[in-house]
Amino acid sequence: MSIANGPVLMFRLLVLASGLLPALWLAWRWGQDDLGVVPEEAVVHLTGRTGLVLLLATIAFSPAFRLTGWVGIMIARRQMGLWAFAWLCAHALAWMGLEQYWAWEWIWHDMRDLPYVRYGVVGFVLLVPLALTSFRRVRQAMGERAWHWLHRLVYVSAALAATHLWILTRADYRLPMLVVAVVAALILFRLVDAALHRR
Amino acid sequence: MARYRYPVIAESEVTPRELFRQRRRFIQGGAALGAAALAPGLLLPSSAYAWQESLADRLEGDLPSRGFAGGETLTPRKDATAYNNFYELGVRKSDPEVYAHKLITDPWSLTIDGEVGKPGTLALEEVLKRETLEERIYRLRCVEAWSMVIPWVGFPLADLLKRHAPTSRARYVHFESIHDPENLRGQKSSILDWPYREALRIDEAMHPLTLLAVGMYGEVMPNQNGAPIRLVVPWKYGFKSIKAVVRITLTEERPVSAWMEQNPEEYGFYANVNPEVDHPRWSQARERRIGKRGKRETLMFNGYAEEVAELYAGMDLNEHF
């Protein structure tokens, strides 16, 4: 992976920026007390949205590679996936700390009783083994075939995330509709691609 | 979470409201004179600012004030005017404040019709002239599990209804909001079937706690909070307290509200605050008090059980949610 040519390096820096800049922006606005009347709520929403966007971007790396054939995309994919995971970790922590204020009985109650929380939790938990097996050595130990099978879970996770967002939306469905459309398109591409290039 | 930015302006530096208002009237007068000098035909009719001016004057006097929130701390005015659900002005909490100027409230008239002996359409100033204003401090609990404590200024809805002599067939009161898709950005999309509509049973409408509010925090109602005249029913979820009311119709049949139409599974006719009956998608057991950390337990009928529980005696509140 040490192909340190210019375009690849630039692309990796771009991925770094997409993971880091939202965090700087959020921290800056928190410092400026510019997160609205309920900053806790804003943090929960912003971490969730950023995590979801980065997760969808990670999935989109694969079709982007199929279409362009540029290897730099695949080199940066793990990095993007880990950024998405980091943001979704932040989202889970923000929900527990800033929405539930660490009231464990309520955290447990809502995970058990509220469908949107359940979908979110399952979608998040599915990402944990993917993050843990994202390192080269683990991947090699697993074997490519098993690794690819396992990492298809990312599609399940994205679908659950879209459902999570859909359920908690109250009136304006533009954003969840967009997310559902993107997830559907990514899954469709994967299926068509697999059918055309049966390996 | 409120963090104040320094320097804080000393109390002594604040322009007294009376002075500020005189200044404003002087400037407005000057502007009107200027306009008249340039184009006499354009002189505004004298009633153009009638209700706002006369209401502001009345709010400067000493109004009787009563607390109905158990002495709980008032929500800071800056929070109550910046975190609103008023979909006509946009769906984000911050939208209503940003687009507040798009709600045209002058002139304003109110129609009272249906099952009443004396129907009519009145200019808002005529309506206000007849009523005795008072301040009432109420809790406000939104169906989204957040709450505020707000000092409203208004008058009991019952006072207004009685003047129009409801007939014996009047069993429900239907309210309708402004419909102005040209100015109100939310009404350009079909998130709800516009205009916004709400309804109460006649005994709920006549209950002494039910208010028509025209101000808050001792001032004329800000647009984002439902100017110029809005309903306040403190024991029901906030969406029942319809904003910017233009029409009140007494009916024999139970009306269907805008939210019931949009999602009958989730929004019932009564919408009484009830910690034991959850919204299908989230819990109603607790709420976030805006401006405070943490969550608090939601009270039955939002803490007004003593006053209103008898209205629902014998009813299954799980079914009539």
pLDDT tens digits along A162-184: 999 999 998 889 999 999 999 99
Interface test with B, best of A33, A37, A99 (most B CBs within 10 A): A37
| Cα–Cα separations (whole angstroms), residue A72 to A42, A79, A194, B276 | 34, 12, 22, 55
The architecture of the domain spanning B65-312 is: Alpha-Beta Complex (3.90)
pLDDT above 90 coverage of chain B, percent: 79
The answer as to whether A170 is a domain residue is: yes
- Please compute, for residue A160, the number of CA atoms within 13 A of its CA located in the half-sphere on the CB side: 17
A101 touching B, CB under 8 A? yes
pLDDT above 90 coverage of chain A, percent: 91
- Which chain A residues contact residue B275 at CB under 8 A? none
Instruction: Confirm whether the ipTM is greater than 0.95.
Output: no
Q: CB A35: neighbour CB atoms within 10 A?
A: 18
What pLDDT is stored for residue B43 in this prediction? 47
pLDDT at B229 over 90: yes
Mean pLDDT of chain B: 89
Contact status, residue A127 vs residue A88, Cβ threshold 8 Å: yes
Taking the CA of residue A150 and the nearest CA in chain B, the distance in Å comes to: 31
pLDDT at B45 over 50: no
Mean pLDDT of chain A: 94
Q: CB-based contacts of A143: which residues, under 8 Å, 6+ apart?
A: none
Contact status, residue B151 vs residue B65, Cβ threshold 8 Å: yes
Q: Are the beta carbons of A40 and B1 separated by less than 8 Å?
A: yes
- Which chain B residues contact residue A105 at CB under 8 A? none
Strands (E), chain A: none
- Which chain A residues contact residue B91 at CB under 8 A? 170-172
Among chain A residues, CA nearest to B77:
A37
pLDDT at B23 over 60: no
* Number of structural domains found in chain A: 1
pLDDT tens digits, B75-108 = 999 999 999 999 999 999 999 999 999 999 999 9
Which residues does B contribute to its contact with A (CB < 8 Å)? 1, 3, 5, 79, 82-83, 87, 91, 93-94, 144, 146, 189, 191-192, 262, 278, 281-283, 286, 288, 290-291, 293-295
Between CA A167 and CA B291 the distance in angstroms is 27
Average pLDDT on B48-54 reads: 78
Tokens 């997760």 -> residue: A55
Count of positions (residues) in chain B: 321
Average pLDDT on A30-57 reads: 96
The answer as to whether A119 is a domain residue is: yes
Taking the CA of residue B40 and the nearest CA in chain A, the distance in Å comes to: 46
What pLDDT is stored for residue A167 in this prediction? 94
pLDDT at B8 over 90: no
What pLDDT is stored for residue B44 in this prediction? 46
pLDDT at B19 over 80: no
pLDDT tens digits, A99-153 = 999 999 999 999 999 999 999 999 999 999 999 999 989 999 999 999 999 999 9
pLDDT at B73 over 80: yes
Domain around A136 = 6-196
What pLDDT is stored for residue A194 in this prediction? 87
pTM of this structure:
0.86
A122 touching B, CB under 8 A? no
pLDDT at B42 over 80: no
pLDDT at A81 over 80: yes
Q: Name which of B20-29, B47-56, B141-150, B232-241 the model is least confident about.
A: B20-29
Q: Are the beta carbons of A37 and B93 separated by less than 8 Å?
A: yes
Measured in whole angstroms, the distance separating CA B124 from the mean position of its chain's CA atoms is: 15
The answer as to whether A1 is a domain residue is: no
Identify the band that residue B319 occupies on the pLDDT scale cut at 50, 70 and 90. Answer: confident
Identify the band that residue B304 occupies on the pLDDT scale cut at 50, 70 and 90. Answer: very high
Q: Is residue B177 helix, strand or coil? A: strand
The answer as to whether A144 is a domain residue is: yes
Average pLDDT on B256-262 reads: 95
